[in-house]
A = this chain, B = another copy of it.
Amino acid sequence: MDIEDLANRVIGGERRALARAITLIESGRADHRAMAVELGKKVSGTGRQALRLGLSGTPGVGKSTFIEAFGMMLVEQGLKVAVLAVDPSSARSGGSILGDKTRMELLSRNRNAFIRPSPSQSQLGGVARRTREVVSLCEAANYDVVLIETVGVGQSETMVAEMSDLFLLLLAPAGGDELQGVKRGIMEIADLILINKADGALKPVANRTCADYSGALRLLRKRLEDPKDFPKAMTVSAVEGNGLELAWEEMNTLADWRRENGFWEARRARQARHWFEEEVRMGLLARLTKSGEMRDHMNRLGERVAMGDLAPAAAADEMLQRLGALE
């Protein structure tokens, strides 16, 4: 495969080249990985800085309808929109919207939109690392907005937040006994909470839910990187299109403020460093468990530690000594 040529085609905005490049990034083969790294180097620093939007919402909140409506609004404004997903394999059958492009019929057919389902790897960490690389490819291909969605299983939101400039949480109206509550950890990373389905009979419930979450957000300590009134909760209706423009305005207000106050670049720099260190750590761990023997040993020690049979530090010491003997 000619990586130079592929890089140029990606930068030139060829959708098929982008799709092929992503397949390369997602491949588990060692030679493909080397080519993917090469490709990453070639496209690095080209293209534009997209707005990277993380989006979480459980099945049933109308996430695909929201992405369809929100994405169409953006492409109609002349923007190029990429939609990616970070879902652990186990969650795939549970209703990941991107497995089913037909639910975003208009957007998936629009030439200024690019939709890609989650890479199918068994480890969530692996899925996230590869998606992080795909985000860079989309920027090289001059996408203006990269939306990274997750159904929010396990630690997936935290990982998506680590590759996003802004994080959106989509909720359905609910009150009293129906109230499921948001997953722990999410309220902490959300920049904007959107209560969807604020239409018809659900509108008053949506307003109440919105007020509840506004109140809860006020109980959280202000982050330095948040301007006044952020994070905030607001209502939208993906079906009727209400509130989408306003939500987009709010995102830009927040993004502009962070850019002007230095938080934007600082966040991106911190994130890039995080992924670098993560890659090094995972690479080292992969070496450690490359041999079946080492992997078995690590698992056996882990079992003994879990049973309280061996102290964590002593087990780690044993593992590291074993590794030393191997070198």
Chain A residues engaging chain B, CB cutoff 8 angstroms: 36-37, 40-41, 44-45, 129, 132-133, 136, 179-185, 187-189, 212-213, 215-216, 218-223, 268-270, 272-273, 275-281, 283-285, 287-288, 298, 301-302, 305-317, 319-320, 323, 327
Contact = CB atoms under 8 A, between A and B. Distances in A.
Contact of A40 (B218, B314, B319): B314
The A interface, classified by DSSP as helix, strand, loop or mixed, is helix
Q: Which 6 pairs show the lowest CB-CB distances between chains A and B?
A: A279-B316, A275-B312, A184-B188, A269-B306, A181-B221, A276-B312
A184 B221 contact: yes
B269 A311 contact: no
A277, A298, A311 — most chain B CB neighbours (10 Å): A311
Contact of A307 (B216, B269, B310, B315): B269
Nearest to A279: B316
Contacts of A319: 280, 283
Given A272-B308, A308-B268, A219 B313 contact: no
24 contacts: A36-B313, A37-B314, A40-B311, A41-B314, A44-B311, A44-B314, A45-B308, A136-B311, A179-B218, A179-B219, A180-B221, A184-B187, A184-B220, A213-B219, A216-B219, A272-B308, A276-B316, A277-B302, A279-B315, A279-B317, A280-B285, A280-B288, A281-B284, A284-B284
Nearest to A319: B280
Nearest to A176: B218
What is the count of identical protomers in the complex? 2
Contact of A133 (B221, B313, B323): B313
Given A288-B284, A316-B279, A311 B133 contact: yes
B310 A220 contact: no
Contacts of A306: 269-270, 272-273
Contacts of A45: 308-309
A259 to B, nearest CB: 15
A151 to B, nearest CB: 14
Contact of A272 (B36, B133, B218, B312): B312
A41 B285 contact: no
B220 A181 contact: yes
Contacts of A302: 273, 276-277
Contacts of A270: 306
Contact of A188 (B185, B277, B285): B185
Contact of A129 (B180, B213, B313, B327): B313
Contacts of A223: 184
Nearest to A315: B276
